[in-house]
Amino acid sequence: MPSWNIHAAHVERLLREGEPPELGIRDANVFLFGNFAPDVYVGYLVGDVSHTLRYCDTHVTAPHAIPLPGADEFWGDYIAPYITSGGVDDLTLGVWAHLTADHSYNALVRGFNAEHGIPAGTLTRIRKQKDFARFGKLLAPRLSVEATPELLAACENFGPYAIDADDARKAVKAAAGLLDPEGEDTISGTDGDLVVEPAETASGGYLLLSPEFLEGAFDATDAAIRSGLTRYVAELKAAGGDPAAPAPARRPKRKAFPVGPRPAILLAKNAQAADADAPLDLNADGTRFRAG
């Protein structure tokens, strides 16, 4: 999945190239956090949260080696129903942007792999994630997120599941480290005894992809996010809503997602679990798969 640097760079570009109200953004800080939120409870980027949730639930997807998060499904469940009654908050829009970005990058990588005959697997996954980490560092976004009262309130009222205030603060702290230009990548260069060398398709210091591919993916993803937010504003205005007005307070309609243990317990059960920025999850038969 795209690194938090990539997600932050997309937010930075949206804010730089357009006026936030034109995209339905009222609180850029809360919107930025929304672009990280689906990863908070997966257990790999924020290491000390109170519990974990399944990747498939937080990203609205099914088990695949390169999953395609359900941005459209999230829109249908948590955005579209509320457009005629005042719209949704910045956290919800940010989460949709995150899912859109993850879907876009992974779909493009799927196409790249198919075109070049690259099989799915551990080596491909690590190469992809290290390339995303490197690309994100080169984008060098300068945004930072703060645990404001507005952000914590939005986390408490988030539609699919609550984000505990202490967990949100830990995610903000994790973001500060991950977005630090001098910080280290979270992706290991090896998987056990497996040394990761560049694939024949790689160039520009990458292991699988190329600068041209990643720059093209960045542009395509920006266009997808911008188009969706512009559509949201147009539909909200058509329904008589004001994009600059606060979203109405609502009682969340939550699903009963299975809750897992704290990350330290989860990782302790699988020595390989932290070898890459790619969470483990459950297949339908209860066996584990790794998404990335």
Question: Tens digits of per-residue pLDDT, 120-150?
Answer: 888 898 899 999 999 999 999 999 999 999 9
Q: Are 203 and 210 in contact (CB under 8 A)?
A: yes
Q: What element of type H or E holds 289? A: strand 288-290
| pLDDT digit string, tens, across residues 233-268 | 999 999 999 999 999 998 888 888 999 988 766 554
pLDDT at 286 > cutoff 50? no
- Does the structure show a pLDDT above 90 at 3? yes
Find, among 10, 52, 14, 57, the residue nearest to 35 by Cα.
10
What is the pLDDT confidence band of residue 48, given thresholds at 50, 70 and 90?
confident
d(CA 67, CA 102): 9
Mean pLDDT of the chain: 87
Least confident of 20-24, 119-123, 284-288: 284-288
Instruction: Check: CB of residue 201 under 8 Å from CB of residue 118.
Output: yes
Task: List residues bridging with 190 in a β-sheet.
Answer: 195
DSSP code of 161?
A: S
**Phi and psi torsions of 180, nearest 5°:** -70, 120
